[in-house]
Structures are given as structure tokens and as C-alpha cells.
Amino acid sequence: MPRRRACSPTHLDGPQIAALRRALLAWYRRHARDLPWRRTRDPYRIWLAEILAQQTRVETAIPYYERFLAALPTLADLAAAPLERVLGLWAGCGYYARARNLHRAAQTIMSAHGGRLPTTAADWAALPGVGRYTAGAIASIAFGERAAVVDGNVKRVLARLLGIHEPIDAPATVARLWTVAARLVPPQAPGDFNQAMMELGARVCTPRRPACDACPLAPLCRARAAGVQADLPRRRARATVPEVHAVAAAITRRGTVLLCQRPAHGLLGSLWTLPGTHVGPGALNPRAETSAAPHDGPQLLRSHLHAHFGLNIMTSAALGTVRHDFSHRRLRLHVYAAEVRGPVRARSDGNPLRCVWVPAAELDALPCATVDRRAFKLFVARHRKPGGRH
């Protein structure tokens, strides 16, 4: 007789898969959080929730979800809204490319598909900003398609469940996880199953101190059986994140501050910011502490803003430094108070640039990145001090 092949590290047999599905769905139906997007099968609302939940904690996403839908309750409303309004509703949630892509995809659906939302994962994945995970989530939850999802929570659950020691962010491992996830999704209630996998990772199979005693999959978990659940999953070594510096000017005139709108494309596109520039290597005093303003910051600002923005400014006090960590760099933004001399010519390297004078009281209403909003607070705090300018 031929010898029976041993199970590979990413293999579960039929009875194990059946047991896993039963246990996980029963647990989910008892313990699932009551989230607003779980009370609907409206694909527009599920789509919005999935985009918001990317790189955002659920607790943080809920008020944005509710505020967004109150303002733009339908796909047609979203497509017809100006981008600046969409960004304003998104302000503070970060990763603004998500909002721009959401808006662009809505316009595509209205113009190219007659306002009919896709029903399959393949069609969803053809839209701007909709990747494989988001497409599978929407198609399975809203339309019952047997489509898999693999996000950070699912990766962690599967790595421990199957005892995968290879880095889960390696391309070969990611491909294996998608294959396994697709096999596990049941033909009935695929949306509930996918949400259950994500819920398990978020609440039980957590990155630190997984609650194995409360896990419905504990009898099947190879990491728990080997006592290595705290060591998994593993990731590749991360490259050192560079620290970069920038300078910005809070330019005031009769109770208003000059703001410029970033270009539509690129990081933080279309958001409002104080005029300024990044600082090249060696441009700052290397002995200056990062929390202190660089000694040559005012001159850098004057030169840059005159050359690229057509502004003649006079800087005064250093208002402070804003520290903000992006995924690919650590930014130290040094903010200076300044006044403009002469007219403001709205240009940047010969291209039109939208610059406006905004009353200080209206800064909070503009769509701005978190780093810029914190820079505004430095300016506002300065002007509220006794003896400050108003």
C-alpha cells in the first residue's frame, strides 16, 4: 500500500476544515461586536467601512463612518461631492489616498457603470484603491461570494493555526496564506466567516498575549500545541526609518494665516498646509536637538518661499517643532511665525498654486493632514497667549 503523505505546515484535511468552520462561526455569532456596518448589506456602506478600517482602529473608524454617511449617504452623493468636501470629512483619519481613491472610484462607477456597484470580487478589484483584500471582503459580505480575505489579523491567525515560521510578509508566504484562506472559506455564509476570522485576530488571537483559553480554534492550533504562539507570526527585519526635517512658515496678516493647497497627486494630495519645504542633508545644524528650531531655518524659508512661491517674508519667533511618524519616514517639522512683505503671487515653479488667507478660527474646518493640523495648533496657541498678536 502507498504510504500516506504527512500533512504539510499549511495543510488541513477535510474534517479539520469542517470543524474549524463550525467552531469559528458559532463563536462569531455569540461574540461578534455590534458594529454599524454589520447591520447592513448595503455594498456602498460596506465598501466605505472597509476602506476606513484599513490602517485605522475600529473604534476610531466608527465616528468617521457615521459622519461620512450623514453627509454623503449614497454613492451618487459621494460621486457628485467636490474632492475637498470628501477630504474634509476624512480629515484626521490619515492615509488620504484612501479618500481620493474612494471618490475617484465612485465617479467611475457613476460614469462608466451607470451607478451600478460591482457584485464580484474581480470587478471590485478593478476600481481605484480596491485591492484583493477589500474586493474579497465586499463581495463576500454584501453579495455572498465565496471570496477569501487576508489582512493582518487573518495572517496572524493562520500563521499560529498552521505553525508557519516563515515571515508572513514574505511574498511566498503571503501567496500560501491566500491559498489556505481561499480553501477555508465555506460556500455558505462566506461573509460571516471572513468577518469571524478578522474578529478572532482582533480580539482573541492578538499580537501580544493571545487569549488561547478563549479561542474556538485552540484544539486545532499548532502554535499553541508547540507552545510557540507568542513567537508567531514572524516578520522580515525592517529597514531603518530615516528622519527628515522640514521648515514651515505661519504667515499672518490681520488675523488670517496664509495656507497653500498641496498638488492633487502624491503624498497628502489636495490637503491644505503651511507653506514650507523639506530640508536637504546637512542643511540643518547637526548639533541642534531635533526638538529645537534649526539655526538656519529662517533663511531656508525665506529663500525657498521667494524662489518657489513668490513670497517675500520676514520670520520672527520659532513656534515649535511637530514630530510625526509616517510609515516610511519620521518627520520633524519646525514652524516659524512670519509676515509677508508685498503681494502674494500664487505660483510654484511657474505652475499655479492655490494660496488663500484663512481666518485663524476657520483652520479646523479645512481638510488637513494631522501633521499640519498640529502645526496650526502651534500658531493658534501662540496667538492666544497674553501679548500675542491677533
In the residue annotation, 50 being an active-site residue is answered as yes
Of 383, 302, 388, the residue nearest 340 (C-alpha)? 302
Phi, psi angles (nearest 5°) of residue 256: -120, 165
Q: Are 327 and 239 in contact (CB under 8 A)?
A: no
Count of other CB atoms within 10 angstroms of residue 203: 14
- For 270, the 3-state DSSP assignment is coil
C-alpha cell at 153: 489579523
Phi, psi angles (nearest 5°) of residue 366: -85, 150
For residues 43, 48, 50, 55, the Cα torsion angle rounded to the nearest 10 degrees is 170
Q: Is the peptide bond before 233 cis (omega within 30 degrees of 0)?
A: yes
Phi, psi angles (nearest 5°) of residue 277: -155, 155
* Candidates 50, 84, 145, 362; catalytic one: 50
C-alpha cell at 155: 495572517
Identity of residue 189:
A
Q: Are 71 and 42 in contact (CB under 8 A)?
A: no
**Residue 243, H or E segment:** strand 243-253
Which residues are tagged catalytic? 50
